[in-house]
Amino acid sequence: MSLLTVVLFLPLIGFIVALLVPRSSPQTSRVWALAISLVTFVVSLALPLGFDYSAAGEQFKIDTIWIASPEIHYYLAADGVGLWLLVLATFLTPICVLISWTSIQHRVKEFFAFLLLLEFGLVGVFVAQDLFLFYVFWEISLVPMYFLVGIWGHERRIYAAVKFFLFTMAGSVLMLAGIIYLYNRAGTFSYPAILAMLSSGRLTLSPNEQLLLFLSFFIAFAIKVPLFPLHTWLPDAHVEAPSAGSVMLASLMLKMGTYGILHFCLPLFPGASRQCAPWIAVLAIIGIIYGALVSLVQPNMKKLVAYSSVSHLGFVVLGIFSFTQVGLDGAVYQMLNHGISTGALFALVGLMYERRHSLAIADYGGVANVAPWLSTAFLITTLASIGLPLLNNFVGEFLVLQGAAIANYTWAVFAAIGVILSACYMLWLYQRVFYGEASEQVGSHLPDMNLREWAAVVPLIVMMVWMGVYSQSFLPPVTKATARVLDQAQVNVPFRVALPSRAEVAGAR
């Protein structure tokens, strides 16, 4: 059995078993969720270990027919980008289980079941190479997240959950139309086959077709990213979601959008992508600055982190549409960074909410006096998030800005403003929450982290440092994959690393 199949179906098995656990023993549900998600993570480590870093193209390929007519394949494979996003998903799921251990007290069984179903959907999205299969996972992941927000969220959870579902649904139905249209033109759902047909000229799309198809895909992805001005669902969903939901949403579901743009939009519709690039870049820059400015004035910690995601994801989109090798590398690296550091921020904010039952910044102050270790962890995460050198975000932001500067110097200038603003809002947040005198409520309600919470947070901090200090562990397969994307997008790229030739690429398919 293929390794990817195992990694994909372990969470699904976990979901089914979790449903069968009796309602009366929540502890069993917790332990089971932790066990199966850890097993999934350990098994998924075999992917980066067994990955051939010298080869471009998808690996761990498994391709069998799922539905005979119209021919739909169960076609999984991981390229350098999907590989890391998959590992990110399996890495964060046990952490989400840990931070939900005590904070989820009612309907525990369903909570962990939905978390595992969500992992199944996310893993599938990042490795599906059949457009139909991709759409299936894309939509599947929507359902558990809808329930996670709607059942276990805060006061306005129902509004947030429905808004989230409808926004995503509205975008994805158009993508479905695009996928069907492509199928009718190409006669297959297999993504590599369609790319091969495009590059060999057996399938040509007129500029008009290409633009409309590009938009049908791009809008679905842009809603998920979310790109300004399609971001309005995000603050609601993030703020109302339970901590684990926020972590999964920010760290992984937003990446479905940027991954989709990178993996599908650029290679499939290179002309239209380039045609739209200036517009999208401008929207991304607006998102960077707007997200940062709104973060600056948020009285609610979770909302602040949520808007900072809009800003961070703007960098990713900008990197992608710079059409430069460094920009694309930075974008992918930034996806992973944001997954780690914003995931950690949401987890830590969740720990504080569990203690103090408030998300308002004004209700805190002086936390550093009573919970020094929590404060330290939060500080490291804050510094990572604002892009301090030797921590992970610095590498990604630097590459993106470099790429943007190559493409258009003005873009880089404006985007850099976002970096400065991120330092403002994050450090100011830190100052207001952790420094000063501890009020009586803070003093009595904020014990420091316990062992379980350490177990959740330390891996994240380790990753922040590792990814910041030695990016070479992660970047080479990414570069291979993005170089191929650029090659498929047929753009002249300065600073290009050694590229596989067109013939090699075709051979690898």
Partner 1 sequence: MPVSSFINTGDLVRFLPEIILSVFGTLLMVLDPIVNRRSSSVFGNLTLVALIAALFGTAAAYSQPGTAFGGMLIVDGFATFFRVLVIVVGILTTLPSYGFLKRQDAETSEYHALLLYSIAGQCLMASANDLIMIFIGLEISSIASYVLAGYLRDDKRANEAALKYFLLGSFATAFFLYGVALIYGGTGTVNLSMVRSAITGPNAPSPVFVGVAAALMFVGLGFKVSASPFQMWAPDVYQGAPTPVTAFLSAGPKAAAFAIFLRIFMTALEPLGVGWQPLVWISALASMTIGNFAALLQSNVKRLLAYSSVAHAGYVLVAFTARSDTGTAAAMFYLAAYALMNIGAFAVVSHLSGKGEGYQSLDDFAGLGQKQPLTAAMLSIFLLSFIGVPLTGGFFGKFYIFKAALESHLVWLTVLGLLNSAVAAYYYLRILVMMYMHEPSEAASKAEPLSPSLSAALILPAIGTLVLGIFPGWVLNFADKSAGLVK
Of 73, 157, 355, 480, the one binding partner 1 (CB under 8 A) is: 157
Of 13, 169, 282, 416, the one binding partner 1 (CB under 8 A) is: 169
d(CA 407, CA 327): 9
CB of 402 to partner 1, least distance (A): 39
**Does residue number 107 form part of the binding site for partner 1 (CB under 8 A)?**
yes
Nearer to partner 1, 146 or 394 (CB): 146
| Binding letters toward partner 1, positions 56-95, x by CB under 8 A | -----------xxxx-------------------------
Of 135, 264, 394, 434, the one binding partner 1 (CB under 8 A) is: 135
Of 91, 147, 259, 264, the one binding partner 1 (CB under 8 A) is: 147
User: Tokens 């493409």 label which residue?
Assistant: 407
Contacts made by residues 413-420, CB under 8 angstroms, sequence distance 24+: 414/285, 414/288, 414/289, 415/284, 415/285, 415/288, 415/314, 415/315, 415/318, 417/288, 417/289, 417/292, 418/285, 418/288, 418/289, 418/291, 418/292, 418/311, 418/314, 418/315, 419/386, 419/387
Cβ atoms 331, 258 nearer than 8 A: yes
**Does residue number 9 form part of the binding site for partner 1 (CB under 8 A)?**
no
**Does residue number 220 form part of the binding site for partner 1 (CB under 8 A)?**
no
d(CA 173, CA 177): 6
Nearer to partner 1, 6 or 136 (CB): 136
CB of 162 to partner 1, least distance (A): 5
Of 55, 180, 417, 508, the one binding partner 1 (CB under 8 A) is: 180
DSSP character string of 234-277: HHHHHHHS-HHHHHHIIIIIHHHHHHHIIIIIHHH-HHHHHHHH
Closest by Cα among 170, 193, 198, 172 to 256: 172
Instruction: List the interface residues with partner 1, window 14-43 (CB under 8 A).
Output: 23
Nearer to partner 1, 35 or 177 (CB): 177
| Binding letters toward partner 1, positions 234-273, x by CB under 8 A | ----------------------------------------
d(CA 257, CA 339): 13
What tokens were used for 29?
A: 């549900």
**Does residue number 206 form part of the binding site for partner 1 (CB under 8 A)?**
no
d(CA 443, CA 365): 10
**Does residue number 413 form part of the binding site for partner 1 (CB under 8 A)?**
no
Give the angle subtended at the CA of 91 by the CAs of 237 and 2, to the nearest 5°. 115
Q: How many Å from the N-terminal Cα to the C-terminal Cα in the chain?
A: 21
Give me the residues paired with residue 128 across strands.
76
Of the candidate spans 47-55, 130-138, 390-398, 455-463, the one that interacts with partner 1 by CB under 8 A turns out to be: 130-138
Give the angle subtended at the CA of 188 by the CAs of 187 and 190, to the nearest 5°. 160
Judged by CB under 8 A, the number of residues near partner 1 is 34
Nearer to partner 1, 211 or 336 (CB): 211
| Binding letters toward partner 1, positions 431-460, x by CB under 8 A | ------------------------------
d(CA 355, CA 481): 43
Of 13, 45, 62, 176, the one binding partner 1 (CB under 8 A) is: 176
Of 80, 82, 144, 150, the one binding partner 1 (CB under 8 A) is: 150
Closest by Cα among 144, 133, 140 to 4: 133
d(CA 304, CA 319): 23
Site residues (vs partner 1, CB under 8 A) = 23, 67-70, 107, 132, 135-137, 139-140, 142-143, 146-147, 150-151, 157-158, 161-162, 165-166, 169-170, 173-174, 176-177, 180-181, 183-184
